[in-house]
Amino acid sequence: MRSILHHRPTWRQHLSSPPTPYIQPHNRPLKFHHVRLSSSTSTSPSNHTLLYPENPGSSGSHHDLASYAAYAARTGLDVTSKTYVGTRYEYTVAAALAPLGFDLRRVGGRDDCGIDLLGVWRLPIPSYRSPKSSQPVPLRVLVQCKAASAQSTKIGPHQVRELEGAFAGAPPAWRGSFANSPYPTSSPSSPILGFLVAQKPATKGVRDALGRSRWPMGFVSCTADGRLEQMVWNVRAEEEGLEGLGVAVRFSEGEGEDGAGGSEQRLVLTWRGRPCDPVRDL
């Protein structure tokens, strides 16, 4: 038996004077490589080429959790170091969001402007279907991950301001719109959404800061082992096309560590109150 417990973001605020984004310094030019969103010959945005910045830290040695674990073992990397903990968490977040339709790539580095993951979010909802194609249109996403879980480490409004600055300092493909882009959007540029991800649920200060922001943003709570516990976004994100999209908790029967029956829960997407399956590959 499965049951769905629906919930929508309970915080929505509008302010006439949005805060000025904090922009982290960017002194060195970034290198980019091409990645196509789809191998289709369609003229839809899913066939556009995105230019991902190269990750100077990986040098092709790792690209996901498994390859990073092998890399750490091979090089004797200290698993208690901030570098290991942070990198592992970024790969964990990318893997945890994949079942919801996210396709994210780690790009963090010294000149990343605070951005740890870049990619797209494929939404199977009518408002994100291109008039030139029946295929769902991927929404571009940038993500900042906060791996710290210590009680003394607080995720506050200043991290939201840093995420606002990431929009201005993002790579070109995550700033403007593609030429003649058929992306449906309420603003001149095509939809770009930012997410702040941390191991703890959003505090009231974080929720208020997101609600005040003029940027389309959201917050995700993801544990160190990749369990999604919270996902919310602000009104600006809804105005960019997420209106009608929601998040629910799905309970399913599972088996506990002692072999006894139990229940597992996970976050799922809903469309107008009904569960919907994300688009993972086009």
pLDDT, greater one: 113 or 77 = 77
What span, in angstroms and rounded, lies between the C-alpha atoms of 104 and 259? 35
**Is the pLDDT confidence value at 187 over 50?**
no
- The strand ranges marked E within the chain are 3-7, 32-36, 49-53, 102-106, 117-122, 138-146, 192-198, 217-222, 228-233, 245-255, 261-271, 274-275
Q: Which of 27-36, 59-68, 95-104, 203-212 has the lowest mean pLDDT?
A: 27-36
Q: For 87-101, what is each residue's pLDDT tens digit?
A: 999 999 999 999 999
Q: For 163-176, what is each residue's pLDDT tens digit?
A: 999 998 888 888 86
Collect all residues with Cβ–Cβ distance below 8 Å to 226 and sequence separation of at least 6. 92, 93, 95, 96
pLDDT category of residue 230 using cuts at 50, 70 and 90: very high
**Is the pLDDT confidence value at 272 over 50?**
yes
Q: Is residue 57 within 8 Å of 108, Cβ to Cβ?
A: yes
What span, in angstroms and rounded, lies between the C-alpha atoms of 202 and 78? 30
**Is the pLDDT confidence value at 120 over 70?**
yes
Percent of the chain with pLDDT over 70: 63
**Is the pLDDT confidence value at 228 over 80?**
yes
Q: Check residue 35 and give its pLDDT.
A: 39
pLDDT category of residue 86 using cuts at 50, 70 and 90: very high
